[in-house]
Structure 1
């Protein structure tokens, strides 16, 4: 135990001494910076600031386009609402048309029955009028019957004509209503076609604007990378060499998850906030529109929206490990695709200039594991 403590103390002293030496060397170099080196440093600083301004401008333009895309999506929602209202109206008209068809069928049946009765009566009257029996050969009973029949027919005929006229008018009214309903249905059909064309056009505009947004954000990423490179060159020119670069990387770093985006950790694994449960993963505060990359090589098991979680990507990285990433604004990968370490998975939401939250969780089986710990890649 004493030997271990002594070794730890010596290691700490060595690191402290090395850091002090680096700082002393940096200060010495800063003092001895020549005029040419100072001019080169000023030039690098100016280039870095220019790249940073360009990157900021590109991100602002991309954010405006993202807001335009959101407005177009709202137009699609409004169009869908109108289309739903039109479909409801169309259903009402179809129901009315069906009712009219039933009424017309019923009236047609009644008209046919009345016409059949009238046809029989008219046939009898016609025969009677063309072949009346001779008066001398008609018995009193038959003559009375004939007179009674004629009287009855005279009384019935106007009533039958009146009823027939009513039925004809009803049938004419139903035909007109049916024609109007058909015209309204046709108007609805035309309106629905117009709505469908409008929706297709808006969706095409959304795809174009999303492609432009990706292009601008990609250019902003490149400018940020150039700015970071220039910043590193400035540091080297000043003599400010990072301590981590002097000490080297641990071999176990290759078995660790890398951060899925450039950002600040705002909630660590196991951290408790208020009375809530401990965090099962790590939360990062990330700039809007930032690129989200794969923390390790793996296969995409899921990519899409999940209720209350937004867009989610699940990577199977082998050895029973899975990485769950939520908070993405737009996903670039599909299920079944194999992605490499640091390969783009998507981008953060880009509708606000405030930082957004990206969450990463590492699971082994169903158990959450601290994403910062080395992975046991030798285990089955």
Structure 2
């Protein structure tokens, strides 16, 4: 299933893309899929399979985004041509009428003129002058109609590839979940105390209270760490592809201000850890949905809230790029018009960064173009 969908997206790249940027994105994603597939075939353990499948899912997501961009471009171009033809409908009808009249008239009849030979000569000169303009107009019309038909054919092909790609990414996500469940090779810094964690959840009314109390839960024989990632400040990649919907301190529709940022993501997008980090908590929390809290170094927490699926065990040290979870939502199947597949319903990830006991603007740690 994954290999078939991989080849489908690879073929869709040059056919579906109507602009250079989308075409390049699809080709790059297809190349990454091939590399990930090779790593998957050579994987010897669950850990290797998790890494390869993580790359596979990310490449599928990039490829699908590229195909959608191509379809959007093609749809926009088709709409532009349709509007132009509709605006010239009367002119085109008159042009076709003149061309049909000229094509039906017999040559001797065309040469007859009430004004005699001189009138016939003048008429012939007029027809000679008009004919190139008519031919040029007819050629423009022909090119527009041919382009519209070509775009429709490309859209049909790309929509078929998109359907296969969606099936492929779903299969890859399912395999990734199974591989994570089978993984036993991650080191653990500490063992969770579920009773104390449950008590803390029940006693916490805010994320701040929970995060503050999390560091006070005894962790037993915790392995020491001297990790320091301050030199990476401002350079970390976002944990999920998307755009910044709200920045830290920016009020939402209800007027609530939060110290974190909101990232708009595709449905079921894969969320990964930007640096090696210990998983301090995963699970439901307050009204934030499913939450993962990572500790890259002592007194530094990355909080990801609003996930649909969470991975890992509390206390595990997750390597950079390891899957943290999947966003919620559902990838729509392409509709006959293609509209739903072009702009699938998005989801949002809330991300907060805490240094010590206080939140800081996540964009001081993460590199982004801010939307």
TM-score by length of 2: 0.36
Greater helix fraction, Structure 1 or Structure 2: 1
Larger of the two Rg values belongs to structure: 1
TM-score by length of 1: 0.35
* Higher RCO by CA contacts (8 Å cutoff, separation 6 or greater): 1
